[in-house]
Amino acid sequence: MKIDEFWLKMTDDIQCFGRRWIPPQRPRAVVCLVHGFAEHTGSYHFVAERFTEAGIAMMGTDWRGHGRSQGLPGYTPSYEKQTLADVTSLITAARKEFPDIPLFLFGHSMGGGMVLNHILRFPNSDISGVICTSPLLRLPEVKMPSTTQRILLRIAAAIAPKKVRHTRTPDTPYAATLEECVLVRDVAHEKKLRQDPLRNTAITLRMMDSTLRYGQWALDHAAELRKPLLLSHGTGDKVTSSDASAAFAAAAPADLITFKPWPDTYHELHKDINREEVFAFIVHWLDEHISSLT
């Protein structure tokens, strides 16, 4: 596997740091990575290993305000106009790099909501299919704000869009027991993930409001899906709603959607203790769709 780095200028001139993972043989497809909140492309080395072993290249950027990219942490000037344009910029760069092979999107968590919004709003884009894990369509029921709280959040986001909230503070204790884990069912691995020095903990009011509103928009427009989609979610997810993914799958065209719930699995499907099984399923789905295109 060859790994190289690049910088991608977005439409507003923000520079985003990126990585490419390329198999030793000519790749038979390329996957554009759209990572989740707080993450960066370096968090996905395991995913890249599994893709390249299957002869598939992967390419992604640290999203604005994440990892090594420029931008205010946890902020977007506009979800609809800028965040989705950033996804388009990545697709365009990947198509220039890999012009003659199928191109797939892979979005996780916040990135899952981004790719679902993108394919629903741009159904004719040059994408062969989409893999979506643990998308942020809604928060779990116990964390979902009330209607009144949502209205207040939207007003606050309009008044102070760059105001920051932190998901962790320096004195927030790390998970010490399995019951305290949120991302994976492994205390040591959970601690390692949260101690990543490039992990962003800041989110602005605008991004909080936008991700919730556009997650609901994707749910409301699921029937308009026009691309093959593998949608996976762990039923033990404490971060995003697996019920919302099930609702999206139920509303989407049956001939395009493959919905795979993973019993008891936590939010980070590709890092949890059953990650090998999860990834084998993803690669099998890709194999079937690549074969149908070549």
The number of domains in the chain is 1
pLDDT one digit per residue (tens) for the chain, 294 residues: 899 999 999 999 999 999 999 999 999 999 999 999 999 999 999 999 999 999 999 999 999 999 999 999 999 999 989 999 999 999 999 999 999 999 999 999 999 999 999 999 999 999 999 999 999 999 999 888 999 999 999 999 999 999 988 776 555 666 667 788 899 999 998 888 888 889 888 899 999 999 999 999 999 999 999 999 999 999 999 999 999 999 999 999 999 999 999 999 999 999 999 999 999 999 999 999 998 886
Place of tokens 């928060």: 139
* Sign of CA pseudo-dihedral 117, 119, 122, 123: negative
Q: CATH number, domain at 79? A: 3.40.50.1820
Pairwise CA distance, residues 241 & 36, whole Å: 15
Q: Are 32 and 97 in contact (CB under 8 A)?
A: no
Reading the block at residue 179, the tokens are 């019951």
Reading the block at residue 73, the tokens are 């942490």
Pairwise CA distance, residues 90 & 11, whole Å: 11
Pairwise CA distance, residues 200 & 193, whole Å: 11
Bridge partners (DSSP) listed for residue 233: 261
Q: Note down the domain range covering 151.
A: 2-293
Angle at 291 between CA 21 and CA 86, to 5 degrees: 45
Strands 129-133 and 257-262: unpaired
